[in-house]
Structure formats: structure tokens, C-alpha cells
Structure 1
């Protein structure tokens, strides 16, 4: 699914109005009706009380339409027009009159909002470009301090689409129109966005298809388009051979999880290259794996005479001097289809001249601290994205920047993952991801395909699991356990 910036969304609105021979007021009615229908389905009890906060621009106009529709359906609803939140647009004024015609008079007072069960935020939309004045900040602070459920229409008020946000409504739900907006998924904006629903408001399909963008949201449909079903004639020799290099004394679990995840991701064979201390552990945990061993407690020399289809390296590896030298020698071997994770990334961060030795089209999978050590500090999320794109292009690698909403960067192209939840915040989750990515590479996916599909499957396991078990009890092994169901879900699309 494409992600648009504010100017692209406005252009799509304009073209849709022209091609569909409708007015901007009619498009506003359509969009707000879609939001109202979602709200109505979520809150079926008409005893639910609502308070709609409206700016005076077109986002506020959406709020006036929603308030009118709630009123007509018998809900208990009140509305506040926020002073200082823009100048009245024509569509706002038209819908203000329509709201008054059904007997609902908006006020400038929001003292009663705290008693409302649901607050609908339509103060500002995607057109916000200036800093908020003190009065609007006061209203947003008030909304954030209430215990009400908060629904933001299109974007949380105060959220900037192209720069760091200072203050915004801390929404429980964001009902955004037609296409995702990048800012909703960035780490710095997590406090303002808990759940996102993209509502199709019928904008011109040709315009959406023809608009060029470098930003995409990975959803079930995107994942299913990448996914390659197993051939009826497949055998272990056609499904690829993955090698997992990692583990050290006390950290063998990381390599074990990666090896099992690679096999469960669908590759035909897995070989684990580990220190001798992990031999019995690996053979017991995963009898399907073949095992090669190095020194006793940590890897000192990486040498093998087989030709794996892909390699995952770094999980539980340690950063001893001998291990660092072994990584350098490994890069000199010019391996292909390599996933570089954990301590292998940390070793690179300590030896940045080695970046020029990176296998081309590798996948790097840093978590936030590892990423910081790798590319340096960044001013805000937008600066981070630019640094990621620069790093990816300079080193010809794909980066999987792990976070609550993981981002895959391939040169100038950015894929934001939509699957996953807080259940994944558990030790070993990243080791499993590396195994999945390595298993996909072994099967013939290119590095971008493997990264986008693997990250989505990884998150999807948690989405499926929390319908059956508590997020608190979800572990890295649970990801592997639910991987089969995740595959089945994308195979149905």
C-alpha cells in the first residue's frame, strides 16, 4: 500500500473531485461518513457519549459532519469549536450550518468533555505546517489528560507529517483517509498513535496508481504478492541451504532460535556453525540441523567447505578479539545472501572501515541501539530515515531497522511494516527474525523481498497469537510456533 505525503493527498483529492464531478463538500461528507460508520460499528450502544473537538479548517469540517451523523443516529453528542485553530473554510461553514439544523449548537466550552466516554479529535489535519499557539496546546493537553477514549480523524491534531512533533493528541485510534501517512508509523510519534485504521473514501483509483512514491506500508496483500507457494515438485535440494553462524558460551539459545526459525521459514537444509560448547545443545534442540563446530567457547575462525544458499551471522556471537578477526576473514570470503545481526553489527560498528567489505545486497538487522552505533546520532525520525537511505545506498545493503513498527530501507525505497504488537518485546525475537530472513533468502527470494516478507510474517505471528494467548506469555519460541499460521494467512489472499 502506498504512503503519500500531504501534497500528494491534496492532489488526489483535487483530481478525484474533478474526475468524479463532485464538490469538495460532497467529498468531505463521504470521508466523514466513512469515519462515522467505523465509530458506529465500534460503539454500538447509543448510550455512548461523544464530544467532538473541531478546528475551523477542513478537518474540523469532518468533525462537524461526524457530530451531525451521531446526533441523527440518537447518540449523546456535543461539539466544541477550538478558537485559534485555523480560519473557517467554506466547507467548514456549510457543515456548521448543517449541524445547527439538526439541533446541535457547538460551543467554545469544553469543560464537559471529561465526562464523555469518547472524544473525537478533528482540530487539525494533514495541512498543519505551523507551530501551535498556547490556546490550542492547552486544549490538546486537556484532551490528553482525560480518561476518555480518543479517536483522531486522519491524523492526531498537532502531528506534523514532515518534521518532529512537539505536542499532539495522544489518540487510541487514528482513522486516516485512503492512504497511510508516514508520520503515523515513526518511533517519535508512538505516544500519539496506538492503532491505525486506513479508510477507503473512494479517491480516484488511477490517480492513486499513477502517483509515484518511495514509501510503502507492508500489509497482508503486499506480503501475499511477494510470497511464493511451495512447488508440488519441491524437495530439500530445491528449497535452499541456510547456514547460521553464531552462539558462544552462555548464549547458545540465540543460534538455536535462528537455526530453527530458518528451517521453519521453509528452507530445505540448515547448518549451524557454532562453538564446541553448543554442539550437544544444538543437536538436542534441533535434530534436523547439521552442525559444524569451531573453538570451545566462542568462534575464532570461520571456515567451511560447503556452499550454503544464504548465511545468517551474529546471533549470540560475542565480540572477543578472535571473533572480530573471524568476521573480517568471513567478509573477505565474499559470501552472498548474508543476514548480519546482533554482535556482527556491533563488531562492524567498532571497525567501520570493514563496511567496504560488506557482501553486496546483504541485510542488516539492527535494533535502535545497534543502529545508533552503526550510523551515528540523528536529530529526529526524518533525519534517521535520511541517514538510513544514505547508508543503504553507500553500502548497497538492505537495512531492517527493528522497532515497534519495523522499517525496511532499500536505497531510497522505504517499507513500513504494519504487523506485530508489544508481544514481540521479548528476548530472542530478533534472533528468530534473522533465522526467518536467512531461510527466505535460501529459498530464492532477493534481499528486499526477504526483508519485507520476513518482517511481516514475524509480526503477524504475534498478531495471531494474542487472539489465543496473553502477550505477557509470548516468547521468541512462540514466533516459531505461530509461523505456520502466519504463512497460511498470507496464502489465503
Structure 2
């Protein structure tokens, strides 16, 4: 699913009006009617008080359309206009005028804190104050209104985006944004729904189809893409009946040090479980017995040193190499990594201390093969690119870094974002259970295993992140968040693959089956 910029959304509205030969007011009517349908399906005529707060722009116009439909259907509606400026949009004024035809009670104008209405916890608040066009801090009395919403503890539904939240920036004042229980986003989700500093402003979100021009939607290249099942299915490479292990490549995992051999075991197991034909592990001598005894499917090559890697000397020709898990940052190890990178031409996936070594010696970045994949967690990323002011600044710095060194960078988090050049791929799978030791090692192994099978590095990154999260989503059904461990992610990878081809259940068909049994 595409994630458009503010400018692209405006362009989509404009083209829809032109190509469908409708007015902007008609498009607003369509949007408001869709919100009404969403609410009506859930409320079914319930007479809970619905407080609709409208701004004086097009977002407020959407709120007025919604209010009119709710009133006509007999709902208990109270309308307020947040009178924060003298400028009113044309479509707002048209719908403001239409309200008088369906109710005796004109909207209440709010201009200061003393105007705020009483709202109970059992009521519903609809936030239609500011849309995606907001590019300035809100007035203090409007901020007080947002605080008032929060204090009531009433369910808050935001239209398109929580008011006060900018689509392309981070609001520093948490009280200057509406904290929504649900947001109904028109056409596509907003990038701010997925970033650590801004996702908190809406607990849930859903996309509403308001009938934008289909050619615009299909032909417009988005700045970001939300990755779900439908996006990764085309990436999947099926296997031929007569295929053999030699066709799925040889993954080599290089890493480990005394006390950190488990990282290599996890990454190696994940590489094989994701589909690599062969997996070898290059470890210090202390890792030989742990690997051979706990993971017999792997082949093991040992360094000359007992406790750390100092040579990186092997005589195999792997398809892809996963480097860095548990490897440490000892001076001799760094020297070995530098020597290896100077002669290596094999595709790389680099994680953990491999990234930390690159951060210490940035000259090594120029030695990396094109489209090498880095999988940093936040602190590793900071060591690599430096500090950032907010999430948008972070993304811009990562884009710049990706372009400068021709890297694919996987920013691990609640919504892991894969960055290549100027494009963002926002993952939709995963849960808090994945915040556990070794989870990143597993991800490294999965991506390495996918490249081994012939997946392009970018596709392997996007697909691997999805599978990693989906495996965790399935695993928590048995283990819950707290008890999920990294090994479980590997154990459920098969289920994640199978889920790609699982058809959603059809409620109507189920009901018919029940009726037939009767």
C-alpha cells in the first residue's frame, strides 16, 4: 500500500475532481458519507452523545458532512466550530450552510477556553479540526481544547489525521496534538502513523476509500510503501519439484566470540530455515562444539583463535555472507574484518558489531559491495550516521547515507523501515514480543538465507523483515509477548511462509454452512 506525501494527496484530489467531472464539494460529500457509513455500522443507531468538533478548513467541512448524515439518521449530535481564524474554506462554508436545513441547532462557536462543552467518558468525540495542511503550532486555547478531550477519557475519532499532528514533521509539544483512539485516513495511511515519535497519537487507524482517480493511485510513485502480505507475495520465488539444495545457495555466517556463540547459532538456523540450501558458520574455536551439538545441519569452520575471530580465512565460496553477529570489537577482530573487506566481493548482510566496526572505521564503508545490507538497532544506527533531531531527520540522514554508499539500511523498530536511496518500505508485521535478545540475529539470518536463494538484496530485506515479524505474530498466539524468545521466531518461520497463501475466511460462506447443517 502506497504512502503518499502531502503534495501528492493534494494532487490526487485535484486530478479526481478534473477527471471525474465533479466538484471539490462533491468529493467532500463522498468523504463525509464514508465516515458516516463506518460509524453507523458500529453504532447501529445508539443514542450516545456524539460531539463533532470542526475546524474552518476542509477537514472541518468533512466533519460537517458527517454531522448532517448522522442527524438525518437520528443520532444524538452536537456540533462545534473551532473558530481559530477568520479564513474559511469554500467547501466548509457550503456545508456549514447545509447544516441549517437538517437541524434547529446551529453549531456552537468556540473561541476560548470558557466555551468548552461538558463531555462525559461515555460520549464520543469526533476530531475534524485540522487536516494534513497544518504547518504551524496551534493556538494556546486550541491546545487547551485538545487537553480537554484527553481529560474526558471519551473515545476520540480523528478524521484523516489527529489534529495538530503534521504529516511531514514532529510536533514537540505532546499537548498540542489530539490523542485519538482511532483515525480514519483517506485513501492511504500517513507515514506519521508508523514513526516512534508520532505513532502514539493514534492507537488504531484505518483507510477509507473515497474514490480517488484510479490512474492516479496506480501510476503515482510514492515516497514510501506499507508492506503487507499483498506486497510481499509477488516477491516470493516458488520452488520447482526437481530442485535440489545446490540451487538455493550457500550462506556463510561469520561471527561469534567467547560467550556470544549463540548469536551465530541463531543466525545460522534462521538462514537455513528461511530456505538456504547450505549454511556454514565461521567462528572462533570455542564455538565449534556448541554449533556442532546444537545445530547439526550447519557446517563449521573455525578461526585459529580460541575466543575471537582474528583471521577470517576460509576456502569456501559462499553465495552470501552474514557478518557481525556476536563478533565483538576487539582490535584484532577489527583488523581481521578490514582485511576481509578489502578482498571480499560476495554480497553481505552486516549486523551488530559488524555495524559498530564500520562506525569506528568509516573508511571501510567504501569497501562494501554494492547494495550491502545493514540491519542496525537505534543505538547502532546512531553510531553509524550520528545523532538526529527527530524521526524525519533520521530518515533523511539514512537516505543520504544509503545514496552515498549504495547501501540498503534496515532500521529496526516497531515498524521496521527498509531504506534504499530515497524509497522507504514500512513493515506492517511484528509485535512487542520481538523486543528480545537474539531477535536481530534471527533477522540477519533470514535475510542472508533469502539472498542465498536468489532474492535481490532489496527484496530479501523487505521480504525478510515481513517474514520475521509475521513469524513473531504467529508465535505470540502460543507464547504471548513476554515469553517469546528468538528461537521461537525461527520455529514459526514455516507458518509465516504458509500464511502467505492462506485465504481469508469468508463469513458469509461460514453462515451458509451453518444453515445447511441445520
Superposition TM-score tier, normalisation by shorter sequence: over 0.9
2:158 is the counterpart of 1:158: no
Cα RMSD of the aligned pairs, angstroms, is 2.2
Shift, 1:32, TM fit: 2.4
* TM-superposition CA deviations, 1:18-69 (whole Å, max 9, x none): 2112222221122223233333445558255433222111111222223333
Matching residue of 1:106: 107
Once residues 201 and 309 of structure 2 are traced to their aligned partners in structure 1, the CA distance between those partners, rounded to angstroms, is 44
The alpha-carbon distance between structure 1 residues 43 and 359, as it changes in their structure 2 partners (threshold 3 A), is: farther
Shift, 1:222, TM fit: 1.2
Once residues 415 and 80 of structure 1 are traced to their aligned partners in structure 2, the CA distance between those partners, rounded to angstroms, is 39
Structure 1 runs (4+) greater than 6 angstroms displaced: none
The count of residues paired between Structure 1 and Structure 2 equals 493
Matching residue of 2:501: 491
The alpha-carbon distance between structure 1 residues 483 and 471, as it changes in their structure 2 partners (threshold 3 A), is: same
Once residues 327 and 435 of structure 2 are traced to their aligned partners in structure 1, the CA distance between those partners, rounded to angstroms, is 21
Once residues 238 and 86 of structure 1 are traced to their aligned partners in structure 2, the CA distance between those partners, rounded to angstroms, is 69
Shift, 1:343, TM fit: 0.6
Q: Residues 54 and 63 of structure 2 are in contact (CA less than 8 Å); yes or no, is this contact kept in structure 1? A: yes
Give the SS at the match of 2:181: strand
Give the SS at the match of 1:203: coil
Q: Residues 2 and 224 of structure 2 are in contact (CA less than 8 Å); yes or no, is this contact kept in structure 1? A: yes
Matching residue of 2:38: 38
Q: Residues 192 and 199 of structure 2 are in contact (CA less than 8 Å); yes or no, is this contact kept in structure 1? A: no
Give the SS at the match of 2:203: strand
Give the alignment of 1:324-343 within 5 angstroms.
324-343=334-353
Matching residue of 1:126: 132
2:208 is the counterpart of 1:199: yes
Once residues 272 and 48 of structure 1 are traced to their aligned partners in structure 2, the CA distance between those partners, rounded to angstroms, is 63
Give the SS at the match of 2:418: strand
Once residues 448 and 46 of structure 1 are traced to their aligned partners in structure 2, the CA distance between those partners, rounded to angstroms, is 49
Matching residue of 2:354: 344
Once residues 365 and 303 of structure 1 are traced to their aligned partners in structure 2, the CA distance between those partners, rounded to angstroms, is 24
Once residues 147 and 63 of structure 2 are traced to their aligned partners in structure 1, the CA distance between those partners, rounded to angstroms, is 19
Matching residue of 1:6: 6
Matching residue of 2:53: 53
Q: Residues 50 and 116 of structure 1 are in contact (CA less than 8 Å); yes or no, is this contact kept in structure 2? A: no
Q: Residues 33 and 66 of structure 2 are in contact (CA less than 8 Å); yes or no, is this contact kept in structure 1? A: yes
2:154 is the counterpart of 1:144: no
Once residues 397 and 387 of structure 1 are traced to their aligned partners in structure 2, the CA distance between those partners, rounded to angstroms, is 13
The alpha-carbon distance between structure 1 residues 88 and 445, as it changes in their structure 2 partners (threshold 3 A), is: same
Shift, 1:371, TM fit: 0.6
Shift, 1:436, TM fit: 0.8
From 102, 121, 141, the counterpart of 1:115:
121
Shift, 1:147, TM fit: 2.1
Once residues 489 and 86 of structure 1 are traced to their aligned partners in structure 2, the CA distance between those partners, rounded to angstroms, is 54
* TM-superposition CA deviations, 1:256-296 (whole Å, max 9, x none): 21111111111111111122222232223322111122222
Once residues 473 and 89 of structure 2 are traced to their aligned partners in structure 1, the CA distance between those partners, rounded to angstroms, is 41
Matching residue of 1:67: 67
Q: Give unmatched runs, 5+ long, in structure 1.
A: none
Q: TM-score, normalised by structure 2?
A: 0.89
**Who wins on radius of gyration, i.e. which is larger?**
2
Give the SS at the match of 1:195: strand
Matching residue of 1:379: 389
Give the SS at the match of 1:113: coil
Matching residue of 1:253: 262
Matching residue of 2:447: 437
Give the alignment of 1:411-450 within 5 angstroms.
411-450=421-460
Q: Bigger CA drift: 113-122 or 433-442?
A: 113-122
